[in-house]
Amino acid sequence: MKGVLLAGGTGTRLHPLTRITNKHLLPVYDRPMIYYPLQTLVDAGIRDIIIVTGGNNAGDFLRLLGNGREFGLKHLNYTYQERAGGIAEALGLVEDFVDGDKCVVMLGDNILQDSIAPWVEHFRHQPRGARILLKEMENPEHLSHLGVPIMDGGRVRYIREKPATPPSPYAVIGVYMYDSTVFDIIRTLKPSGRGELEITDVNNAYIDRGEMEYDVITGWWGDAGESISAYLEAINFVAQHGVLRAPARA
């Protein structure tokens, strides 16, 4: 199983902090933001990991992380996204690295309180298709900034991106698990209205094929790159509670 950590983008929602650096290099309490999702992948038993980044600060990731020795890794892989073309486009850059294997994709600004190891194990035994992680949100207003699933009979029937009226209380968080056919799907995508290849379109393609599974996490989750207030919330939570404690077995 391969790990893919997406750490590109322009970070405009965190301006002016990101005018001189990549948002994933900003501190969250006592560690750079990128440390948290990287540790999440490592704690889930994934050792073969690639980081996709871009912009003018790509070299800073290499200086910061090196070969991943601090995380118990022997080697880290890197690739460069030349433009901000969307999450799905960034994922498409790692096809050769994944090389027919399954992969766990994580956004570099997502911070989770609990380990994702149980859910990765579910995917390891899943014969084909995709798996996403959902989080029930206490504040429904927050859902208008996220992907929200339409649920029916215990299945995800469709995912709506940033809906004005959320169809469920669940958010699709930035952890996605795919088999190797994800790259075939990416090749069929057309740019959205904002000129990007959308990961929601990838997920809906798996749903259309009847090959999408999901798990619902219960621990705290934060998208530290969503806004200045979300960034502050992540800092405060990590400072007060810490992250990456093991959850109850699923």
> For 159-196, what is each residue's pLDDT tens digit?
999 999 999 999 999 999 999 999 999 999 999 988 89
Query: Does residue 250 form part of some domain?
Result: no
- Which amino acid is residue 163, in one-letter code? P
Query: Does residue 8 form part of some domain?
Result: yes
pLDDT confidence of residue 245:
57
Query: Strand 221-223 to strand 110-112: parallel, antiparallel, or no bridges (unpaired)?
Result: antiparallel
Query: Does residue 247 form part of some domain?
Result: no
| Alpha-carbon torsion angle 204, 205, 209, 210, nearest 10 | -20
In the three-class reduction of DSSP (H, G, I as helix; E, B as strand; rest coil), residue 215 is classed as strand
Query: Does residue 246 form part of some domain?
Result: no
What is the distance between the alpha carbons of residues 138 and 246, in angstroms, rounded to a whole number? 22
CATH number (domain holding residue 206): 3.90.550.10
pLDDT confidence of residue 249:
46
Average per-residue pLDDT in the chain? 94
Query: Does residue 130 form part of some domain?
Result: yes
Query: Does residue 9 form part of some domain?
Result: yes
Distances (CA, A) of 183 to 74, 88, 156, 174: 27, 9, 21, 18
pLDDT confidence of residue 142:
80
The 8-class DSSP code of residue 63 comes to H
For 30-66, write each residue's pLDDT tens digit.
999 999 999 999 999 999 999 999 988 899 999 999 9
Residues, the chain? 250
What's the farthest any 2 CA atoms get from each other in the chain?
A: 48
In the three-class reduction of DSSP (H, G, I as helix; E, B as strand; rest coil), residue 122 is classed as helix
| Residue linked to tokens 């209205």 | 193
pLDDT confidence of residue 145:
85
For residues 223 and 117, the answer to whether their CB atoms sit within 8 Å is no
Number of domains in the chain: 1
Domain residues for 180? 2-241
Average pLDDT over residues 90-116: 97
Query: Does residue 209 form part of some domain?
Result: yes
Q: In the structure encoding, which two tokens stand for residue 249, read together?
A: 């077995």
Query: Does residue 225 form part of some domain?
Result: yes
